[in-house]
Structure formats: C-alpha cells, structure tokens
Structure 1
C-alpha cells in the first residue's frame, strides 16, 4: 500500500476584528482617539458620535463590539447612555474615557459593568494595554468551554500575575526603579528616573511603563509649549 500522505496543516484562523464606536463631543479629540485605536490590531473604528443620542443610534446601526464612551456629552451624561443601550437590546461592551474623577461617577461606571475606565488626557501608551487586555479577555470568553469552575476562573482572569516581569526586564533593576519612585516626593520623568538609577532613559521608560501597567505607578502628562506631552510617573501611595 502506498503511504498515506500527511495531513496538511490547518491554516491559522484570522484574528477576529473588534469593531469600535468612539463617542466624544469634541471631533478633534474623537479623531485622535480613533487614530490611537486603529494602531492596535485587531481593533477597527466603525464610526464616531458626538452626543448621547447619536451614540445610541450609531450602536443600533453599526453594532460595534466596544464603545469608547466619554461622559460629558452635550445632551446626556454618558452613564445614562448605557442603560438605554441595554434596554434597546444592545450587548456591546463599554470603556469609559473621561475627565470625570469623582468617586461616585467611577462607582456608577463599575455598577454599569464598564470593562475599563481611562482618565483624560491620555496617549497611545495608556490606551493600548487596556485594549490588549480587553481583546485577550474577550477572546477567552468567546473560546471558553465550561467543564467546571477552573474554566470559568480562567475565562474571567485579567491575565498574567502583575508581579511577572516582561521578557528582558530584571528583578534587580525593577527594584531600583520602584525605590526611586517611592523615594521621590512628587513625580519622575523617564529621564529623571534614568539619572537617579544609572540606567538608560529607554530602559527606565520600559520599567516605568511596566509599573504603570500593573497599577503600581500613576501617570500624568505635562504639556509644554510644543511637541508631545511629557509622561511623569508617581508611586501610588
């Protein structure tokens, strides 16, 4: 008998596109946020809206998977948009992007089931890891086959343990950067952190971004006369 030919490998399944609606009353800000989103695969912006009513109509027409929702809209408070979407039968996820810092507002957003809450102003480095975490969790939920509690726990997990360092980062240097942040009375830029620890600015930025990603460090933006804003890092006390 002739040998059985090998089974050809199964081609990889293309990554599912995640459709996004950007909601912001400032069209220039919406354009910037659209650019940020479309730099992160597999996200695709399918539309923008400038008011709460426009957002509700757009969700009905475009059926996005995720809505980036500003809260200070000219006709409706953003959190009032979410129950109207649910009443209309839309099951899209919502990520709040707003300057609203009030504790009651944040608690209200959590009660409404938002997947994340990002304070303005922010830049690409702030939004990208949140989108990536959302995409990973969405993928786990879509692929989950529940045989027991362990499967549910894996599907709902936020990802790897915060203490796990990315490839190329060392525990010793991470401790140095953490100590520099803890000991400063205010905030540090990557350049200032590099000078304080004796490592390069690029390395300092990587460690600072890791601490920010785990929630140990907060980021603020300092705007100058021209150019990109400076990212400044502070320890969350």
Structure 2
C-alpha cells in the first residue's frame, strides 16, 4: 500500500480528500495534518510515501513546508500540491520544490485519482528496477515520462474514450495478457486507427508498454499491456 498524508487547514476539505484517496486502489491515508508544523512532524513520525499538501496553512505556507521536507533525507516523501492558489510564483515554487503535480481547488475525485495512478505507476516502476544493476535508458525515459507528461489525452482524443480504452487494456493485463489495437477496437467498437492513437498515448505517458509479436511474414504486431 502507498501511504498518504493529507495536509489541509480545512477539516472538512481534509476529510473529503482523505475519502478520495481511500477510494483509489493501492492507497491508504495514514494521517491528516491541519498546520505546516504538524505536517512536518507527521512526516517524521509516519514516514508517508506521498503528501497531499495545501499551500494556505495557518502557520507557515505549504511551499515552506515543501522546502523543509526536501531537507529531510531520512523522510523525503513525494508531494502533490493541492491548493486554490493560481499565481505563477506559487506554481513556480512548487515546481522548483520538486512537487509531482499541482491540483487547483476545487477538483474532482477523477482529477485526483488520475494523479494518484500516475504516481503509482512511477512507484511500481521504481520497485521493478533492480537496485544492484545499472539503470537502462528505457527505464529512465519511462520514469521521467510518467512524472512529466500531462494526464489529459492530447488534442483530438476524448477523456471518455481514453477511460474506456484504459479499462479494456487493464482487463486484458490483469492476468498478464496483452492486446492489439485491432482487438481493442473490436472490444469497444471504435476504429483500429483511433484505438492505436489512445494506446500509443498511454505508452508515451508511461502507463502502458508495447511489445512486438513476430509472425511468419509481414510487420510485427504491436501488443499493449497496462503497467
């Protein structure tokens, strides 16, 4: 389980966000803090993997908390900023501080779920890389691609269809299987060309991988599996 600390000065908002986190498979809320000072103490005591960090806190601002967390090598969790702040300086400060994502309040469960699943993909990918072996370039590219690329599908691709394609690939990958663009297209009744666009988007964003299956003649078939 990925351990999450929720930091928000509003008790009801913190409760809502905690509920969101608990609904996502593989995540658990291990603590809630309502001030910056309490957040720093909670990180030291609970050692969460991820912090959902508000910027507007009653004692010190979230960016100051973020800087303090980065100075603690023994407890250095990843951070997703959740805030109503829209000014460029705050966004820039979050980026420079190493925040994984920046969610502007109010946001939906789906918006947070996508960020959490993106984090989970990185978390799992890191765990799969042998600690005593040199890291391959493809591993590095996949990790940084997952962290840096946007969540929403590119222009011309709908979020609703992307979700359907994702569910289809997940289902086929649950038992170690994979599927082709043609098989995906048949399953959800869209064109093969469209299915491949969505599948390649997931590969580029680090959520899926593609394997080549070589047959007797012709070009190899591209097979997709959810990571």
- TM category (shorter chain) comes to 0.5 to 0.7
Structure having the larger proportion of residues in helix: 2
Cα distance in 2 for residues equivalent to 1:131 and 1:87: 24
SS in structure 2 opposite 1:157?
Answer: helix
Alignment RMSD (CA, Å): 2.8
**DSSP 3-state at the match of 1:97:** strand
Partner of 2:142: 154
Secondary structure at the aligned position of 2:24 is classed as coil
Distance 1:76 1:19 in 2: 24
TM-score (normalised: structure 1): 0.61
Aligned counterpart for 1:131 among listed residues 109, 116, 130: 116
The answer for the alignment partner of 2:84 in structure 1 is 99
1:12-48 C-alpha deviation (Å, 9 max, x unpaired): xxxxx00000000011110000000000010000010
Distance 1:39 1:102, change over 3 A: same
Q: How many residue pairs were aligned?
A: 160
- Partner of 1:72, secondary structure, is coil
Asked whether the 8 Å contact 2:81–2:102 carries over to 1, the reply is yes
Q: Alpha-carbon deviation of 1:57?
A: 0.5
Whole-Å separation in 1 of the counterparts to 2:57 and 2:44: 19
Question: For residues 67-146 of structure 1, what are the structure 2 equivalents within 5 Å?
Answer: 67-89=51-73, 90-145=75-130, 146=134
Instruction: Report the TM-score, using the length of structure 2 for normalisation.
Output: 0.64
* SS class of match (1:73): coil
SS in 1 for 2:79: strand
| 2:21–2:113 contact (8 Å) kept in structure 1 | yes
Partner of 2:27: 43
Distance 1:87 1:169, change over 3 A: farther
Matched residues in 1 for 2:121 and 2:88: separation? Answer: 28
Deviation, 1:79, is 0.4
1:54 aligns with 2:42: no
Deviations 1:60-92 (A, max 9, x none): 111000000000000001000012122233210
Alpha-carbon spacing, 1:147–1:121, altered in 2? closer, same or farther (3 Å): closer
Which structure 1 residue ranges, 5 or more long, are not aligned? 1-16, 175-213, 215-237
Write the distance in 1 (CA, Å) between the matches of 2:3 and 2:140.
25
Is the Cα contact below 8 Å between 1:137 and 1:157 reproduced in 2? no
Q: Structure 2: where are the runs of 5+ without partners?
A: 166-187, 195-204, 206-227
Cα distance between partner residues in 2 of 1:43 and 1:148: 28
Contact 2:129 2:135 in 1 (8 A): no
